Structure 1
Amino acid sequence: MMIKVCGMRDPENIRDVGKLGIDMMGFNFCKDDPRHVGMIASLAAIIPDYADRRLIAENNSPRRVGVFADDMPQNIVTAVYNYKLDCVQLQGSESPVMIDNLRRTLDPDICKGVRIFKTLNVANIDDLKSSRQYSAHADMLVFNMKNDDTEGARSRSDFELLDEYDGGLPFLVGGIVTEDLDGIKAVSNPCFAGVDLNEGFETKPGIKDTSKLKDFISLLRK
C-alpha cells in the first residue's frame, strides 16, 4: 500500500511527516491553491528563480511529487529542476499529447526516469472509462473522490466503483477522510496502488496533523 501525502509547504511539518514511513510527498505549484509552494523571485530577473531549499529533503525518501494544473511546460520544467522532483502530477485538463511532450522534455536531461501522474475526478463509470485515454501516456492515475459532505464518509459502494476500472495503470485514491478507511480497504482492483492524503488530514491548509496521519496509516496497513 503506497502512501502519498500531498499539499506540504512548511519545512518543520515536512520533516515530521517524512518520518512516518510514507512513500511520496506532494508539493502544490497551483498558484490559486492555499498550499501553493512559491519560488523565491530573482533580483531584477538577473538570476533564475530558485527553490526554497528548506523544502527539499536531504535524501531520496520519500519521493517528491510536484502538482500542477494546466501550467506552462517551462514552469513545470523549472520546478522539477529546482525542487529536485521525482514525479509530476497533472490535475488540470492536460491531454495525452501534452504528457508525451512533457516527458520528452524532462527525460533524460532534466529528470531521468521521471514519472507522470494524471489526476481525474471520479463519480461514475463514465469517469473511469474516460481515464483509458491516458493508459499509454501516464505512469499512474490519481482518482480524486471529492466528497460533498465533508463531515462524513462515503458509502462502501462509492469505493467499489473503483473495481470497475480496467485501464491497466496503477492508481491512487485521493480526496479521502479518516472515515473512509473501511471503503478504501474494500477496494479489490489489482491496479489499486495506494492513497493520496491531503485536506482530510490538516489542521490548516498546508499543515498536516501528524498524529492523525500516523494513526490512519497504521490502520490502513494492517
Structure 2
Amino acid sequence: MTHVKICGITNLKDAEDALGFGADAIGFVFAKSPRQISLNEAKKISKKVGPWITTVGVFVNERIQNILRIASECHLSVIQLHGDEAPPSLYSLRPYRIIKTFRIAEKKDFLKTKGYEADAYLFDTKTPDSYGGTGKSFDWSLIRTSRVPKPCIVSGGLNPDNVKAVIKMLSPYGVDVSSGVETRPGKKDAKLVKMFIQNAKQK
C-alpha cells in the first residue's frame, strides 16, 4: 500500500489529525517557507506523538552540522534534502534515512538522480522561484517512463481529487502533500487531510 506523508505541519492539532486519519509520516519544514516550523514547536510535536511515528525534517541547502543538530533535538526519523545538495552530503547524514528531492519539468531532469544514494527519491514540480509547496503539478507520467532506481515518492500538485488516479498510474512507494490539503499556507484542513488519506489508501 502506498505510504502517505502530510508535509508542512506547523502545529500539534494538524499533526494529530493527520496521524489519526492514518498518515504514515508527517513533515516539518525547517527551511524558509510559509510553512516553516520553529525548532521548539517541532520538538513539542515530536515529543507528543512519540517515537513510533515517522517524522521527516525538510531542509534546503542547510549546513550538515545544523541538520544533524536539529535532527537530534527533534528526534527526526528521516531527513529530506529539498535543495541543491551534492551527493557526498548524504554520506555525512547517516545513519539517518534520507529522502532526496528532485524538481521535475521534463524527462532529462531524472538524470540528476545519478550518484545520490538516498533511501528514496521524491519528485516535485520545478518552478523558477520556489523549492516546493507551490501546489503546481508536473507531468507525472514522466516517472513511469523513467527508470527510477529507488523507491519513488510523488509530490507536486496532489490533492484529494487526483491522488487516487496518480497512485493507480504509478504505484509509487509514497505520496507527499502540503498545499493540497490546506486552508492557507501552514494550516491544514482536517476534512481535506482525511479525504486525501482515504483516497490514497483506497484499493
TM-score bucket of the superposed structures, by smaller chain: 0.7 to 0.9
1:111-163 deviations in Å (ceiling 9; x for gaps) = xxx210101111211011221332xx111111003589x9x9868xx222111
Does residue 109 of structure 2 align to residue 118 of structure 1? no
1:33-63 deviations in Å (ceiling 9; x for gaps) = 12112235xxxxxxxxxx6542213323430
Letter in 2 for 1:37: I
Question: Distance in 1 between the 2:118 and 2:63 partners?
Answer: 18
Question: Distance in 2 between the 1:100 and 1:163 partners?
Answer: 28
The two structures have a TM-score, normalised by structure 2, of 0.85
Q: Which has the larger radius of gyration?
A: 1
Moved over 4 A (4+): 152-155
Q: Which structure is higher in RCO with an 8 Å CA cutoff and minimum separation 6?
A: 2
Of 21, 43, 54, 2:44 maps to 54
What's the offset of the Cα at 1:204? 1.5
Letter in 2 for 1:6: C
User: Which runs of structure 2 are paired with 1:174-185 in the superposition (5 Å)?
Assistant: 174-178=155-159, 179-181=161-163, 183-185=165-167
Structure 1 alignment gaps of length 5 or more: 41-50, 108-113
What's the offset of the Cα at 1:221? 2.0
Question: Distance in 1 between the 2:50 and 2:85 partners?
Answer: 30
Of 183, 188, 191, 1:208 maps to 188
Q: 2:151 corresponds to which residue?
A: 170
Cα distance change of structure 1 residues 187 and 63 upon mapping to structure 2, 3 Å threshold: same
What's the offset of the Cα at 1:98? 1.0
Q: 1:196 corresponds to which residue?
A: 176
Aligned length: 195
Does structure 2 conserve the Cα–Cα contact (< 8 Å) formed by 1:70 and 1:92?
Answer: yes
Question: Distance in 2 between the 1:197 and 1:13 partners?
Answer: 13
Does structure 1 conserve the Cα–Cα contact (< 8 Å) formed by 2:34 and 2:186?
Answer: yes
Structure 2 alignment gaps of length 5 or more: none
Question: Distance in 2 between the 1:153 and 1:99 partners?
Answer: 27
Cα distance change of structure 1 residues 93 and 146 upon mapping to structure 2, 3 Å threshold: closer
CA RMSD of the aligned region, Å?
Answer: 2.5
Q: 1:129 corresponds to which residue?
A: 111
Does structure 2 conserve the Cα–Cα contact (< 8 Å) formed by 1:145 and 1:173?
Answer: no
Does residue 79 of structure 2 align to residue 78 of structure 1? no
The two structures have a TM-score, normalised by structure 1, of 0.79
Q: 1:46 corresponds to which residue?
A: none
Letter in 1 for 2:194: K
